[in-house]
Amino acid sequence: MGVFVDHKEQLFYLQTPTTTYVMKLTGGRYLTHVYWGKKLFHLNKKNAFLNRMLAFSAVEEGDGETYTRDFIRGEYPTGGGTDHRFSALGVTFPDGSWDCQLEYVGFEAIAGKEKVPGLPSLYVEEEAEAETLKIFLKDPLWNLQVTLYYTVFKEYDVIVRRARVSNGGDQPVFLNRFLSASLDFEQDHFDLLSFPGAWGRERHMEKAGLRSGITCFGSNRGASSHQMNPLLILEEKGGDEDHGAAYAMNLIYSGNFLAGTEVDQLHQTRFFMGMGDDNFSWKLAAGEELDSPEVVLAFSSEGLGSLSRTFHDLYRNHLVRGKYKKEARPILVNNWEATYFDFNEEKILAIADAARDLGIELFVLDDGWFGEREDDSTSLGDWFVNTKKLPSGIQGLAEKIHQRGLKFGLWFEPEMVSKVSKLYEIHPDWCIHVKNRKRTECRNQLILDLSREEVCDYITNKISGILDSAEIDYVKWDMNRHMTEIGSCGLSSDRQKELPHRYMLGLYKIMEAITQSHPDILFESCSGGGGRFDPGLLYYMPQAWTSDDTDGIERLKIQYGSSFAYPLSAMGSHVSAVPNHQTGRVTPLKLRMDVAMSGNYGFELDLSKQSEEDLAAMKESIALAKGLRSFLPFGDFYRLLSPYQGGDTAWQVVSKDGQRIFAAYFQVLSKPNPGICRLKLKGLDASAFYLDEENGEIYSGGELMELGLVVSLYGDYQSKTWLFRRKDDYEVSD
Ligand code: GLA
């Protein structure tokens, strides 16, 4: 395992359990990419590394070879010298030139993994869990140093990459692009999977063949965004959930990002990801350095399913932290869709009473409890309780909720300020804005300027103060607009474009301080639903509100799309009322519950107004979910049927010990006179027996996987779930 350097051949090998990643020096100077894929123990240098001269490509010489960087596969290309393709780094030097040529200086291999200063990152608990290779590069003309970091985890088929730039010169330089990783494949026979969306329909998987030229994806909105997730997958043509090579990049960052592919003139594919550069420039003074976020590179030779399971395990074990890392999450009720802003203590307690009777464990008070907030036009920033609505305050309400045997949770939107607020009256310059330009509001709010230390301190102290003032067990941390008129009066004119990244550094600092000083609180991130559903935030908050769209049918695509990188333990998923508030669709309660219990289960409707029949069904489902949650969010997830191919959707979870299986089938539209529909399970032991816990039937694993279960559903929006338990003591009678 780990890092191996073949000094003679100048090859760097990174070995994971079943994969290999290889780099090589070319011309004795340039670091180039050679191989990433299924495990190899050795490469013949001449066979692995091809060289070619191209018309219209300038030729260089070095180490007895001639070559052009227009052809050779780059590892961290800068676009300088003879390289014409998409670069990972853009620099403007003190004389205005931007030709950057990074040459190899040396390497260091260390046990374990270092934290990335100020940024979320994967971690190890023991040094022996990982090895890190650092490769040092330098532009000798300006003494600009770049360190490339590669961490190899002992148990995971991933390479974690990042870069650090240090200005070793004596004058400032400006970075105008700073990606975390880039590498080149020798061919282009891939499909590219991306995860675009919008508010209410996040992470819808799109698949398309690669095309010649540069194809970019990203966010320029100041957040990773609903519109595009920082996840790309290259799937070998003809691959599927269980077959074919699949390569992914996923950025551990919650701000602007840029990712994509470039298919060059010889049909080689460049694959890259990192911070976005449209609103980015960074002044690096002499002696200063800047770290990129980490990007996780995952590979599977066995299709998309195992690729996703690698991400899930990695994130659950080496990204998510704290008390709730492996703990079952409380089943909650949130009052947002039940009351919106129109609540008082009486209404809240009525919902809490009904929740307690159902076995729900946590009551979450959403937006509208502070300042004078009766709708979304005021009070963000004024974090003091509205005693007209809640006469006994947060402390009193929390006590009353606890007396009912429920935990208590509270909504915040700490990064924002309403124009109509006390905070804005006192500090009108604390928001992101450009001097002398209008400050465009979105949802009647402006964004606080987290590049400023005093603003960050204010938020940290204010939120911590409230959390310490009452018994609060859960926090929903929301963020409901994107950046416009991006400027800071705390930054000099040559540093204005640093704001989006400085904002993220400020946000992460606040989140680190608050989450670490409140280790018993369960934090759930949210950004108008899943607008910042990324690995960056999972480092601070173990779960996220997957989408504001609570329609059971819409959730199939959203949760299925999210599962390509993110585990079920990250997905908040609630049952809401019908007609659904986002789509107007009426779906059966069973379907809504079956979809929601596949994630962190919750309810978001007025429980004090439900029929006896529905309450009884909810109670049953909650009891069932309590029995599943020790394994369901933490087990091996299998996508069985894609909502993107025909509508019907199915998924399955196998507990880590292989003893318990949950499977769910969702029929979107019924068809007249359908043929036999069977659901084939995955990941079982073919020679073991499994008990259907509902009806006592016994099936062999082989039968469940090869023949499958008969699915017979009648009507639109129907669902069926199964629970199996492995039966090792079952004997077949003669
Ligand atoms: C966002 C969230 C919702 C809710 C509202 C409150 O839209 O995604 O769940 O909290 O804000 O204003």
CATH code, residues 638-726: 2.60.40.1180
Q: Given pLDDT bands bounded at 50, 70 and 90, which one contains residue 472?
A: very high
Identified catalytic residue from 478, 551, 594, 636: 478
**Interatomic CA distance for residues 101 and 140, integer angstroms:** 8
Predicted confidence (pLDDT) per residue in 507-532, tens digit: 999 999 999 999 999 999 999 999 99
pTM of the model: 0.98
Q: Domain spanning 332-414+460-479+521-634: which superfamily?
A: Aldolase class I (3.20.20.70)
pLDDT of the residue at 79: 87
Over residues 422-437, the mean pLDDT reads 98
Residue in the block written with tokens 């203590």: 345
- Asked whether 570 and 315 are in contact (CB, 8 A), the reply is yes
Whether ligand 1 lies within 6 angstroms of the CB of 524 is answered as no
DSSP state of 684: -
Tell whether the model's pLDDT for residue 471 goes beyond 90: yes
Q: Domain 2-318: give its CATH architecture.
A: Distorted Sandwich (2.70)
Tell whether the model's pLDDT for residue 670 goes beyond 90: yes
Would you list the domain boundaries of the chain? 2-318, 332-414+460-479+521-634, 638-726
Over residues 375-389, the mean pLDDT reads 97
Percent of the chain past pLDDT 70, that is, above it, reads 100
Strand, coil or helix: what is 474?
Answer: strand
pLDDT of the residue at 1: 64
Say how many Å lie between the CA of residue 477 and the centre of ligand 1: 10
Tell whether the model's pLDDT for residue 575 goes beyond 70: yes
| Ligand 1 atom at minimum distance from 476 CA | 10
pLDDT of the residue at 65: 80
Residue in the block written with tokens 């069904």: 617
Take residue 5 and report the two structure tokens written for it. 């350097």
Over residues 81-103, the mean pLDDT reads 96
Whether ligand 1 lies within 6 angstroms of the CB of 526 is answered as yes
Q: Give the residue, out of 202, 343, 366, 410, with the most ligand 1 atoms within 8 A of its beta carbon, to mutate for a pocket test.
A: 366
Q: Under 8 Å CB-to-CB from 56, ≥6 apart: which residues? A: none
**Interatomic CA distance for residues 606 and 609, integer angstroms:** 6
Identified catalytic residue from 139, 548, 549, 606: 548
Take residue 7 and report the two structure tokens written for it. 């000094």
Over residues 65-84, the mean pLDDT reads 90
Q: Under 8 Å CB-to-CB from 132, ≥6 apart: which residues? A: 3, 109, 110, 111, 112, 113, 114, 149, 150, 151, 152
Predicted confidence (pLDDT) per residue in 283-332, tens digit: 999 999 999 999 999 999 999 999 999 999 999 999 999 999 999 999 99
* Residue nearest atom 12 of ligand 1, based on CA coordinates: 367
Q: Under 8 Å CB-to-CB from 379, ≥6 apart: which residues? A: 370, 371, 372, 373, 418, 420, 421
* Residue nearest atom 8 of ligand 1, based on CA coordinates: 528
> CB count, 10 Å around CB of 395?
15
CA 576 vs CA 554, 561, 579, 586, 651: distances in Å: 12, 21, 9, 11, 21
Whether ligand 1 lies within 6 angstroms of the CB of 409 is answered as no
Tell whether the model's pLDDT for residue 647 goes beyond 70: yes
Average pLDDT of the chain to the nearest whole number: 97
Take residue 209 and report the two structure tokens written for it. 């063949």
Instruction: Answer yes or no: 548 catalytic.
Output: yes
Say how many Å lie between the CA of residue 532 and the centre of ligand 1: 13
The tally of CA atoms less than 13 A away on the side-chain side of residue 34 is 25
Say how many Å lie between the CA of residue 476 and the centre of ligand 1: 9
Take residue 708 and report the two structure tokens written for it. 């499958």
Residues 177-199 as b or e (16 or more Cβ within 10 Å = b): bbbbbbbbbeebebbbbbbbbeb
Packing angle, helices 453-469 and 499-517, rounded to 10: 30
Q: Give the residue, out of 332, 334, 367, 605, with the most ligand 1 atoms within 8 A of its beta carbon, to mutate for a pocket test.
A: 367
DSSP for 189-207 reads -EEEEE-B--TTS----EE
**Interatomic CA distance for residues 263 and 265, integer angstroms:** 7
Q: Establish whether domains 332-414+460-479+521-634 and 638-726 are of one fold.
A: no
More confident residue, 46 or 703: 703
Specify burial of residue 154 (Cβ count, 10 A radius: 0-12, 13-18, 19+): middle
Whether ligand 1 lies within 6 angstroms of the CB of 367 is answered as yes
Q: Given pLDDT bands bounded at 50, 70 and 90, which one contains residue 28?
A: confident
Tell whether the model's pLDDT for residue 133 goes beyond 90: yes
One-letter identity of residue 2 = G
> CB count, 10 Å around CB of 135?
24
DSSP state of 301: S
Instruction: Answer yes or no: 291 catalytic.
Output: no
- CA 565, distance to chain mean position in Å, is 7
Q: Give the residue, out of 199, 333, 336, 546, with the most ligand 1 atoms within 8 A of its beta carbon, to mutate for a pocket test.
A: 336
Say how many Å lie between the CA of residue 668 and the centre of ligand 1: 27
Whether ligand 1 lies within 6 angstroms of the CB of 411 is answered as yes
**Interatomic CA distance for residues 370 and 373, integer angstroms:** 6
Beta bridge partners of 364: 334, 409
Percent of the chain past pLDDT 90, that is, above it, reads 93
Q: Is the dihedral of CA 646, 647, 648, 649 positive or negative?
A: positive
- Asked whether 158 and 131 are in contact (CB, 8 A), the reply is no
Over residues 48-53, the mean pLDDT reads 79
pLDDT of the residue at 63: 78
pLDDT of the residue at 53: 83
DSSP for 132-197 reads EEEEEEEETTTTEEEEEEEEEETTSSEEEEEEEEEE-SSS-EEEEEEEEEEEEES---EEEEE-B-
**Interatomic CA distance for residues 349 and 365, integer angstroms:** 11
Say how many Å lie between the CA of residue 468 and the centre of ligand 1: 23
Tell whether the model's pLDDT for residue 733 goes beyond 90: no
pLDDT of the residue at 184: 97
Predicted confidence (pLDDT) per residue in 609-637, tens digit: 999 999 999 999 999 999 999 999 999 99
pLDDT of the residue at 734: 65
**Interatomic CA distance for residues 596 and 197, integer angstroms:** 20
